[in-house]
Amino acid sequence: QPSGSSKPPKPSFSKQDLEYYEESDFSWSKEVQAKLCSVFQLSNFRPLQRAAINLSMSGKDLFLVMPTGRGKSLCYQLPALCSKGFTLVIAPLVSLMEDQLMYLKSVDVPAVTLNASSTKEDSKHVLAGMIDKNSPFKLLYVTPEKIAKSKLLMSKLDKAYNMGLLTRIAVDEVHCCSQWGHDFRPDYKLLGILKRQFPKVPLVGLTATATSNVLKDCQKILCVQEPITLTAPFNRPNLYYEVRFKDNEDCTDQIAQMIRERYKNQSGIVYVFSQKDAAAVATDLQKKNILAQPYHANMEPSDKSLVHQRWSSKKIQVVVATVAFGMGIDKADVRFVIHHTISKSIENYYQESGRAGRDDGSADCIVFFGFADIFRISTMVVMENTGQQKLQNMVAYCQNVDRCRRAMMAIHFDEVWNDDECNQMCDVCRHGNDYITMDITKHARDVVTIVEMASSMDEKLTPLKVCDAWLGKGPAKHRKTIKVTSLSRLEVESVIIHLLLHGYFSEDFSFTPYTTHFYLKLGRKAALLKNGNHSITMKMRRRVMSPATDETQEQVETALIDVSNVAIQRHNKTKIHKNHQNMEKRLA
Ligand code: ADP
Ligand code: MG
């Protein structure tokens, strides 16, 4: 197993066990190897594929956790081809199944689907084939809804099981079972019926992102007794991770410039928050002569697949998309994934950014971190139990200035991460200690006072209003009583985010029939500020603007140092110059 960064397998499945299943002297090994070449036209297995296939062929229940694009499908398709009967595949999206079927058709593997858009004729053919001893197909793709709703399908599965023709069950995107995963689908919750009804059929669950808690939940929901879990290391060494401050005015300009210069003639994705943003940003990029098109859930299916096709065949360079552009995309040479708006969780970010560099060539994952976006997303996920916590983790990832970005992600995948392995492939590792530590106690008191005062006047303030008031730009009635800050807007935003992340502020949602508002209220730790000895420090990036030229860097530095009553510890003054050189190299 590559690198020491991944957790050792559970004791019940030891390293020796893994080695045993990595061997190629099983009774089926010759056939598996032959079909890998002759049918799938691949010469070698990727890490863990052989072990997964051998485990599955041995009849074990298995969870396979492997980054997107590494080839999880092969781990059930190849066993299906080398076994009698057929494999039942549960996949969440019809479009995903259609991609797979198209691919399987191109390599002459007989596979069929049953879904809401199947014709009567097709369904009849499929249902008959399930109980045909000659097995006219090796794979049957269905949506979880079909299992939940179609008694006819269940009865045929029952019959096929009794005839020994239901050989294997594969549950793709298995994390969809769990509410703790990032993509919960209610119909996945009902899939436990499969193992209960067909206990002798080995099941393989596949996912790119699942913590051990999510997997435990999936195991329970699917009624799998003792699955073996194979986990590929989460790390994608060829991806460069970077966070930039978002200045709403010129964010799209910056993106356009990067696409024209750094990513000239290269394919990429720009992720945006909403369907409206998708259209607007795509139009902006088009005006700057970039071949970009929007993609979102509200488009006609035919338009969606047209955009997808044009992009795959390089007729357009960029898709400006909402999260609807995701599953089933397997373009290998994506050189950049830029987030115009932060994702709603680190898991989502890992998944979305992970669409870059699947060919193992280097690629960039850049996220624009904007203050107002935090609250747009916060109100969007207000109904999700763990929505705020997940968003806070994402915000902490962006606000972070001193920890390897990979280390911050590793926590979410239960991995222990050694920063050296990043290889300077994130902005933090590359730019070293490019931050200052500020004592923000006085600032915290000032801004908490503003919110306190507003609430004593029975007034609720949005984070934006708090910023404005603090900067002396609010309504006149506030201005008289408020101590205006000398911090810059970006610093003000950073401080407010810090106070929110650390419980000095908390969110106060208010619902109207049309929209949800986010107001700031005092958090559980606000009272601590009454204590004269309580102090708060935060680390703030020096380069609050990016990419900085020498000149703006100087201005930024002076701005930070001018701040009165602020204790500033400087880190590595000399590093700055080197950082600029690095930055220039990257921009070239
Ligand atoms: P996942 O489901 O893990 O996201 P897929 O199964 O869709 O990934 O596979 C992604 C791509 O990797 C496919 O184009 C597939 O042909 C390719 N692939 C799979 N296994 C191998 C291999 N052993 N060698 C080379 N390419 C592979
Ligand atoms: Mg897949």
Q: How far is the CA of 296 from the centre of ligand 1 (A)?
A: 25
Minimum CA distance residue for ligand 1 atom 16:
71
- pLDDT at residue 374 in the model: 97
Q: 523 or 479, which is more confident?
A: 523
Give the Cα separation of 308 and 322 in Å (integer).
13
Q: What is the CA radius of gyration of the chain?
A: 27
Give the ranges where 545-574 is alpha helix by DSSP (H): 550-562
Structure token pair of residue 441: 């106690």
Give the Cα separation of 456 and 459 in Å (integer).
7
Minimum CA distance residue for ligand 1 atom 9:
71
Q: How far is the CA of 59 from the centre of ligand 2 (A)?
A: 21
Name 142's bridge partners: 90, 114
Residue spans of beta strands (DSSP E) within 446-571: 505-511, 516-522, 537-541, 568-569
Report the run of H or E that residue 295 belongs to, with start and end. Answer: strand 292-295
Task: Kindly give the number of the ligand 1 atom that is closest to the alpha carbon of 73.
Answer: 6
Structure token pair of residue 182: 């990032």
For residue 386, the tally of other CB atoms under 10 A from its CB is: 13
72: Cβ below 6 Å to ligand 1? yes
pLDDT level of residue 573 (50, 70, 90 thresholds): very low
Q: What is the ipTM of this complex?
A: 0.99
Minimum CA distance residue for ligand 1 atom 17:
71
Closest CA to 364 of 372, 378, 354: 354
317-352 tens-digit pLDDT: 999 999 999 867 879 899 999 999 999 999 899 989
Task: Kindly give the number of the ligand 1 atom that is closest to the alpha carbon of 75.
Answer: 6
Report the run of H or E that residue 107 belongs to, with start and end. Answer: none
330: Cβ below 6 Å to ligand 1? yes
* Least confident window among 6-15, 274-283, 303-312, 417-426: 6-15
CA–chain centroid gap for 344, Å, is 9
Structure token pair of residue 331: 């373009």
Task: Kindly give the number of the ligand 1 atom that is closest to the alpha carbon of 40.
Answer: 16
Give per-residue burial for 418-441: e unless 16+ CB within 10 Å, then b.
eeebbeebbbbbbbbebbbbbbbb
- pLDDT at residue 256 in the model: 97
Q: 217 or 2, which is more confident?
A: 217
157-193 tens-digit pLDDT: 999 999 999 999 999 999 999 887 777 888 999 999 9
Structure token pair of residue 579: 């950082």
Compute the average pLDDT of residues 560-584: 35
Neighbouring C-alpha atoms within 13 Å toward the C-beta of 184: 14
Compute the average pLDDT of residues 364-376: 97
39: Cβ below 6 Å to ligand 1? no
Q: How far is the CA of 329 from the centre of ligand 2 (A)?
A: 9
Instruction: Give me the sign of the Cα torsion angle 10, 91, 306, 289.
Output: negative
66: Cβ below 6 Å to ligand 1? yes
Longest dimension (CA), the chain: 85
Task: Kindly give the number of the ligand 1 atom that is closest to the alpha carbon of 49.
Answer: 23
Checking if the pLDDT of 509 tops 70, the result is: yes
Minimum CA distance residue for ligand 1 atom 14:
330
List Cβ neighbours of 497 (8 Å cut-off, separation of 6 or more).
371, 374, 395, 399
- pLDDT at residue 45 in the model: 92
Q: How far is the CA of 575 from the centre of ligand 2 (A)?
A: 43
Place of tokens 């198209």: 102
* Least confident window among 53-67, 69-83, 415-429: 415-429
List Cβ neighbours of 369 (8 Å cut-off, separation of 6 or more).
243, 244, 245, 246, 342, 398, 399
Average pLDDT over all residues of the chain: 88
- Phi, psi torsion values for 521, nearest 5 degrees: -130, 170
Closest CA to 344 of 310, 374, 313, 367: 374
- pLDDT at residue 234 in the model: 82
Name 519's bridge partners: 508
Mutate to test the pocket of ligand 1, among 64, 74, 171 (most ligand atoms within 8 A of CB): 74
Compute the average pLDDT of residues 529-553: 70
Q: How far is the CA of 385 from the centre of ligand 2 (A)?
A: 27
Give the Cα separation of 293 and 285 in Å (integer).
9
- pLDDT at residue 477 in the model: 66
- pLDDT at residue 584 in the model: 32
pLDDT level of residue 543 (50, 70, 90 thresholds): low
Compute the average pLDDT of residues 455-479: 87
Closest CA to 176 of 92, 94, 65: 92
List Cβ neighbours of 227 (8 Å cut-off, separation of 6 or more).
60, 61, 62, 63, 203, 205, 219
317: Cβ below 6 Å to ligand 1? no
Q: How far is the CA of 129 from the centre of ligand 1 (A)?
A: 28
Compute the average pLDDT of residues 433-449: 93
Task: Kindly give the number of the ligand 1 atom that is closest to the alpha carbon of 45.
Answer: 23
Q: How far is CA 225 from CA 14, 192, 200, in A?
A: 18, 11, 11
The ligand placed nearest to the CA atom of residue 69 is: 1
Task: Kindly give the number of the ligand 1 atom that is closest to the alpha carbon of 100.
Answer: 7
Say if pTM beats, i.e. exceeds, 0.80. no
Give the Cα separation of 256 and 288 in Å (integer).
7
- pLDDT at residue 563 in the model: 33
Range ranked top by mean pLDDT from 169-183, 512-526, 544-558, 574-588: 512-526
Checking if the pLDDT of 576 tops 70, the result is: no
Closest CA to 84 of 42, 40, 132, 50: 132
The ligand placed nearest to the CA atom of residue 36 is: 1
Give the Cα separation of 371 and 359 in Å (integer).
34
Minimum CA distance residue for ligand 1 atom 13:
71
For residue 561, the tally of other CB atoms under 10 A from its CB is: 11
501: Cβ below 6 Å to ligand 1? no
Compute the average pLDDT of residues 366-392: 94
Task: Please check whether residue 244 is in contact with residue 431, taking contact to mean a CB–CB distance below 8 angstroms.
Answer: no
Q: How far is the CA of 336 from the centre of ligand 1 (A)?
A: 20
